[in-house]
Amino acid sequence: MMRLWGRKSSINVQKVLWCLEELGLKEGQDFERIDAGLHFGKNRTPEFLALNPNGLVPTLEDGELVLWESNTILRYLARQYDRSKRFPADIASQYQSEKWMDWQVGTMWPTLRTAFLGLTRTPESERHYEVIKKSYQDTNTLLILLDQQLTSHQYCSGESFSIGDIPLALCVSRWILLNQAFPDHTGPRPSLPNIDAWIKRIEAETKYSLVAEKELNIIK
């Protein structure tokens, strides 16, 4: 049985849980999950650091194989366990999906992360509101790119849901939630109709609602 280390409130753990759901892999049957990170701790113990020297979640053990980096875990799960062909297998769709996964981890999340951590994981007295607003507004600009992609395609890599949609949708969900919870500190959120339609499609056609927590888990 696989073992997944990580608390459910982490965006990166949510990616893995969502992917496992899409693949029909069940907690308690195909994998066990151990709460780790933030108030659960466990991620700085020598045993955990031997698995993942970054001390971060998610970390996946599958037999002898130990993986960290959430997007890599998604790639592995899709390649190893997609028995029912849930995700597109043609090379063009796969690499379009890869492109958006790299964009999420290298461009979008680093931009939004400042606002996210600033508003949800930083005590109010230590928040830098100008920096937070800039981070949020810069994300607005970036998301116009994704909205444009979704003008002519149903999903990020084409007409089928792929693993690339998972990281993107979880980021977009946080972008929406942050603005709902802190409108004064994020500043306005533009209407991006293709992203709105894509999120609705994802909610209707995937297991997203089963795993993605709709809370920011704000630490005061």
Binding flag, residue 12, ligand GSH (CB under 6 A)? yes
Binding flag, residue 162, ligand GSH (CB under 6 A)? no
Give kind and range of the element (H or E) at residue 72. Answer: helix 70-81
By DSSP bridging, strand 65-68 and strand 59-62 are antiparallel
Q: Which of 152, 118, 165 is nearest to 22 (CA)?
A: 165
Binding flag, residue 104, ligand GSH (CB under 6 A)? no
Chain-centroid distance, C-alpha 117 = 14
- In order of 14, 147, 171, the CA distances from 153 in angstroms are 25, 10, 19
Name which position in 2, 19, 51, 56 contacts ligand GSH (CB under 6 A).
Answer: 56
Residues touching ligand GSH, count (CB under 6 A): 12
Q: Which stretch binds ligand GSH (CB under 6 A): 52-60, 153-161, 178-186, 204-212?
A: 52-60
Q: How many other CB atoms are found less than 10 A from the CB of residue 214?
A: 8
Q: How many other CB atoms are found less than 10 A from the CB of residue 145?
A: 13
Q: Which stretch binds ligand GSH (CB under 6 A): 53-61, 76-84, 90-98, 204-212?
A: 53-61
Angle of helix 193-205 relative to helix 129-152, nearest 10 degrees, comes to: 70
Name which position in 4, 17, 21, 70 contacts ligand GSH (CB under 6 A).
Answer: 70
Q: How far is the CB of 184 from ligand GSH (least distance, A)?
A: 25
Q: Which stretch binds ligand GSH (CB under 6 A): 6-14, 114-122, 152-160, 195-203?
A: 6-14
Binding flag, residue 14, ligand GSH (CB under 6 A)? no
Q: Please, which residue, 6 or 88, has the CB nearer to ligand GSH?
A: 6
Binding flag, residue 216, ligand GSH (CB under 6 A)? no
Residues 11, 17, 21, CA angle at the centre, nearest 5°? 140
- How far apart (Å, rounded) are the C-alpha atoms in residues 210 and 78? 19
Binding flag, residue 74, ligand GSH (CB under 6 A)? no
Binding flag, residue 118, ligand GSH (CB under 6 A)? no
Binding flag, residue 140, ligand GSH (CB under 6 A)? no
Binding flag, residue 117, ligand GSH (CB under 6 A)? no
Query: Going by C-beta distance under 8 Å and a sequence separation of 6 or more, which residues neighbour residue 103?
Result: none
Could you list the residues that contact ligand GSH (CB under 6 A)?
10-12, 37-38, 43, 56-58, 69-71
